């Protein structure tokens, strides 16, 4: 173990905020820099920037948005953990969520929601930076508002089934399947079946 690794103090944490929205960046960084336990707050707007900062500064914890433009926060998490295993990652989002299983598989130590009170977000960052895990998915609505039937359609889409095949398996009319498919696209904010399946995989929505 190198000497600088031994000097990493759990009392004063360095934090990296990875988000592509300036307002969120400003608010989160302002909140964190006011915490007595935060030593430094770094900022990145992309996975590439985040990777460079983690490699250079080795922060204790990285707060990574689940969606960074076209990038997946979960994939960025994997890259950061591979580059610096001592940097722990807390994923967070305001427009979606990821299952604890999928988050852990990506190497994350927790997940937070942007609509949490500032104090709760700060606490989650500190806990993850100190080696704890934070997965609080209680009292949340069904992911992105998908109904059970829409989840069924989504899972069959992921299996490669066509709309007629989905209609047959679920005993629905083709028109009803088309309505459910359109609702899935709208709620996942995607344009087609491929994007829907990819986003569902990232969010851990598939059975």
The last residue of one of the domains, among 107, 135, 163, is: 135
Residues 102-140: pLDDT tens digits?
Answer: 888 889 999 998 878 899 999 999 999 999 999 875 444
Tell me, yes or no, whether 197 lies in a domain: yes
| Tens of pLDDT, residues 135-148 | 875 444 445 678 88
Dist CA 77 CA 98 (whole Å): 13
Same domain, 84 and 186: no
Query: Which two structure tokens, joined as six digits, stand for 156?
Result: 């069959």
| Residue 109, domain CATH | 3.40.50.2300
In a domain, residue 180? The reply is: yes
Alpha helix segments (H runs only) across the chain: 3-6, 22-33, 47-57, 73-83, 100-105, 118-129, 148-158, 163-170, 174-188, 193-203
The pLDDT, as a whole number, for residue 30 is: 92
Last residue of a domain, one of 91, 118, 135: 135
Do 37 and 129 belong together in one domain? Answer: yes
Q: For residue 5, what pLDDT is reported?
A: 39
Same domain, 23 and 76: yes
Number of domain units in the chain: 2
> Is 51 contained in some domain?
yes
3-state secondary structure of 195: helix
Does residue 85 sit in the same domain as residue 26? yes
Q: Within a domain: residue 80?
A: yes
* pLDDT score for 6: 36
| Statement to judge: residues 149 and 106 lie in one domain | no
153 and 193 fall within a common domain: yes
Residue 34's pLDDT is 94
Looking at the fold, whether 99 and 185 belong to one and the same domain comes out as no
- Residue 5 in any domain: the answer is no
Which of 135, 157, 184 corresponds to the end of one domain? Answer: 135
Residue 207 confidence class, pLDDT cut points 50, 70, 90: low
Residues 18 and 118 grouped into a single domain: yes
Who wins on pLDDT, 15 or 186?
15
Provide the whole-model pTM.
0.65
Domain-embedded: residue 116: yes
The answer, yes or no, to whether residue 55 has pLDDT greater than 90, is yes
Residue 6 lies in a domain: no
Please tell me the distance from the alpha carbon of residue 98 to that of residue 202, in angstroms, as a whole number. 7
pLDDT at 83: 96
CA distance 197 to 153: 11
Which structural domain, as residue segments, surrounds residue 197?
143-203
Domain identity same for 28 and 93: yes
Range 183-194 average pLDDT = 85
**Whether residues 76 and 152 fall in one domain:** no
**144 close to 203: Cβ distance less than 8 angstroms:** yes
Q: Give residue 139's pLDDT.
A: 42
Higher pLDDT, 9 or 24: 24
Q: Are residues 112 and 149 in the same domain?
A: no
CATH number at residue 149: 1.10.10.10
Question: Does residue 130 sit in the same domain as residue 28?
Answer: yes
Q: Is the confidence at residue 69, as pLDDT, over 80?
A: no
Is there a domain that residue 128 lies in?
yes
């Amino acid at each position: 173990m190198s000497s600088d690794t031994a000097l990493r103090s759990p009392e004063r944490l360095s934090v990296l905020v990875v988000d592509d929205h300036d307002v969120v960046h400003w608010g989160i960084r302002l909140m964190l820099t006011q915490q007595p336990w935060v030593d430094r707050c770094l900022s990145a707007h992309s996975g590439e920037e985040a990777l460079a900062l983690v490699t250079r500064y080795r922060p204790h914890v990285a707060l990574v948005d689940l969606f960074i433009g076209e990038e997946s926060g979960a994939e960025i998490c994997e890259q950061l953990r591979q580059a610096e295993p001592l940097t722990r990652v807390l994923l967070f989002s305001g427009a979606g969520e990821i299952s604890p299983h999928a988050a852990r598989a990506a190497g994350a130590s927790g997940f937070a929601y942007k609509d949490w009170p500032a104090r709760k977000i700060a606490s989650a960052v500190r806990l993850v930076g100190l080696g704890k895990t934070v997965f609080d998915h209680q009292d949340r609505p069904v992911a992105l508002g998908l109904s059970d039937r829409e989840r069924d359609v989504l899972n069959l889409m992921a299996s490669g089934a066509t709309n007629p095949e989905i209609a047959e398996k679920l005993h629905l009319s083709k028109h009803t399947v088309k309505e459910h498919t359109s609702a899935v696209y709208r709620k996942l904010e995607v344009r087609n079946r491929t994007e829907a399946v990819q986003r569902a995989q990232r969010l851990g929505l598939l059975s």
